[in-house]
């Protein structure tokens, strides 16, 4: 019997509700504004091209944090809304990222691989029009800046929960004569538990030691006794955990490896987010510094980072700090690392509010030096007040 082909009836496409006349009119207006915006953006870009020529002719650094701070201050203070400050700042950061491409392409080194918190901070600060180089160690970021293989580097310096990042402080000790702090960036940091197994199957968690510290309470409640494996960065930890899972599956074993890292690292290396936001403090912030081979100019709202070792005598540290107190200079950060050559002597790291070119700061540094074996100004740079 001949089968009768049932002919598919062509269904009429569901009627799309027509945009109202009002919506069409508003969109026409937006299109007209966009045309004006593009003209204005290119007028700005034309000026930036000229700035680039001038800078290249006289050797002025292309990235100018003091000028960026000024641009953002002026733009944000003239903003009457309804656009939020955050949205406007994001637009301007991306605009200035585009400026680098017009003036001279920039290369930024950070602690990788991609998907790390350093990567997130670098992209928030430098936008999408620069080149990035992911480096394996914090010390490697210093080396590459020093050698000129990258124009700038971005390294974590302290976390609001866990304190100082020892590798960065030690790298400053090793490179202080050649590297300047050129800027700072603060970002909100959220950690996720990433794995390819059920939560109850996790046997081993990889991450950066500082991150274990930032999730200490959560880990001790959820995973007491689980093996914590240190890695150079959280994104490296995600790569390692993903590799271990793959190998376990290949031999038919249970994939018990997990990592603590960003949700982006999970996506990049093929791990699921088992638990998001496991940091003990929901307002977890990490401060990064931008390192360079040049000094940043004053803006009127700056910080100066200093590194010093004191004389081995009672009250030496108090004397140094007292100099800043007497000068009315606020200190926003203090940290210490073993000095390395003599036991129980320390290298101190201090951030003072003000620029190294300001007369009160010049005098205070000179006076502080009299109480130190060695004092090095690591750099002055615009103070960052916003969390990106």
Ligand X SMILES: O=C(O)C(=O)C[C@]1(C(=O)O)C=C[C@@H](O)C=C1
- Binding residues for ligand X, rule: CB under 6 A, are 48, 51, 63-64, 67-68, 71, 96, 99, 103
Distance CA 48, CA 242 (A): 44
Using the minimum distance from each CB to ligand X, give the nearer residue, 123 or 240: 123
CB 368 within 8 A of CB 310: no
Using the minimum distance from each CB to ligand X, give the nearer residue, 48 or 248: 48
Beta-strand relationship, 163-164 and 152-159? antiparallel
Residue 14 CB-half CA count within 13 A? 1
Nearest distance from C-beta of residue 101 to ligand X, angstroms: 10
Nearest distance from C-beta of residue 286 to ligand X, angstroms: 23
Question: What distance, in Å, lies between the first and last C-alpha atoms of the chain?
Answer: 72
Residue 382 Rama label (left phi>0; alpha psi -120 to 50; beta): beta
Helix (H, G, I), strand (E, B) or coil at 381: strand
Distance CA 306, CA 331 (A): 11
Distance CA 253, CA 48 (A): 58
Using the minimum distance from each CB to ligand X, give the nearer residue, 64 or 150: 64
Nearest distance from C-beta of residue 98 to ligand X, angstroms: 8
Q: Based on the number of CB atoms within 10 Å of its own CB, is 351 exposed (0-12), middle (13-18) or buried (19 or more)?
A: buried
Nearest distance from C-beta of residue 56 to ligand X, angstroms: 11
Residue 259 Rama label (left phi>0; alpha psi -120 to 50; beta): beta
Using the minimum distance from each CB to ligand X, give the nearer residue, 54 or 198: 54
Residues 9/12/14/17 CA torsion (nearest 10 deg): -170
Tokens 């290369």 sit on residue: 107
Nearest distance from C-beta of residue 65 to ligand X, angstroms: 7
* Helices 166-175 and 138-147, axial angle in degrees (round to 10): 30
Using the minimum distance from each CB to ligand X, give the nearer residue, 154 or 240: 154
Question: 102, 94, 62: which is closest to 75 by C-alpha?
Answer: 94
Using the minimum distance from each CB to ligand X, give the nearer residue, 61 or 270: 61
Using the minimum distance from each CB to ligand X, give the nearer residue, 73 or 216: 73
Nearest distance from C-beta of residue 187 to ligand X, angstroms: 19
Using the minimum distance from each CB to ligand X, give the nearer residue, 102 or 263: 102
Cβ-closest position to ligand X: 99
CB 111 within 8 A of CB 135: yes
Using the minimum distance from each CB to ligand X, give the nearer residue, 48 or 264: 48
């Amino acid at each position: 019997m001949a089968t009768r082909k049932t002919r598919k009836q062509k269904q009429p496409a569901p009627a799309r509700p027509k945009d109202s006349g009002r919506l069409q009119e508003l969109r026409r207006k937006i299109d007209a504004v966009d045309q004006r915006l593009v003209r204005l953006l290119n007028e700005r870009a034309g000026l930036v091209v000229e700035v680039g020529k001038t800078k290249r002719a006289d050797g002025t650094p292309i990235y100018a944090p003091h000028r960026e701070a000024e641009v953002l201050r002026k733009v944000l203070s003239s903003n009457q809304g309804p656009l939020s400050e955050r949205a406007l700042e994001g637009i301007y950061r991306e605009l200035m990222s585009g400026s680098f491409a017009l003036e001279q392409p920039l290369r930024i080194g950070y602690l990788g691989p991609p998907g790390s918190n350093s990567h997130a901070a670098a992209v928030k600060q430098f936008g999408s029009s620069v080149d990035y180089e992911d480096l394996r160690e914090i010390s490697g970021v210093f080396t590459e800046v020093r050698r000129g293989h990258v124009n700038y580097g971005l390294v974590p310096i302290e976390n609001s929960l866990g304190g100082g990042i020892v590798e960065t402080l030690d790298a400053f000790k090793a490179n202080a004569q050649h590297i300047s702090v050129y800027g700072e960036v603060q970002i909100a940091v959220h950690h996720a538990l990433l794995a390819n197994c059920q939560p109850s199957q996790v046997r081993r968690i990889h991450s950066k030691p500082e991150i274990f510290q930032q999730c200490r309470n959560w880990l001790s409640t959820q995973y007491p006794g689980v093996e914590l494996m240190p890695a150079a960065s959280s994104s490296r930890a995600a790569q390692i955990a993903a590799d271990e899972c793959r190998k376990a599956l290949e031999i038919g074993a249970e994939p018990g490896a997990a990592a603590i890292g960003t949700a982006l690292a999970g996506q990049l290396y093929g791990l699921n987010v088992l638990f998001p936001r496991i940091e003990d403090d929901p307002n977890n912030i990490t401060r990064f510094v931008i390192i360079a081979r040049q000094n940043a100019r004053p803006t009127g709202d700056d910080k100066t980072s200093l590194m010093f070792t004191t004389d081995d005598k009672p009250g030496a540290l108090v004397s140094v700090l007292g100099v800043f107190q007497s000068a009315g200079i606020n200190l926003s950060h203090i940290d210490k690392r073993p000095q390395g050559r003599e036991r129980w002597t320390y290298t101190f790291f201090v951030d003072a509010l003000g620029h190294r070119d300001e007369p009160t700061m010049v005098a205070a540094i000179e006076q502080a030096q009299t109480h130190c074996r060695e004092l090095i100004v690591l750099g002055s740079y615009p103070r960052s007040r916003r969390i990106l």
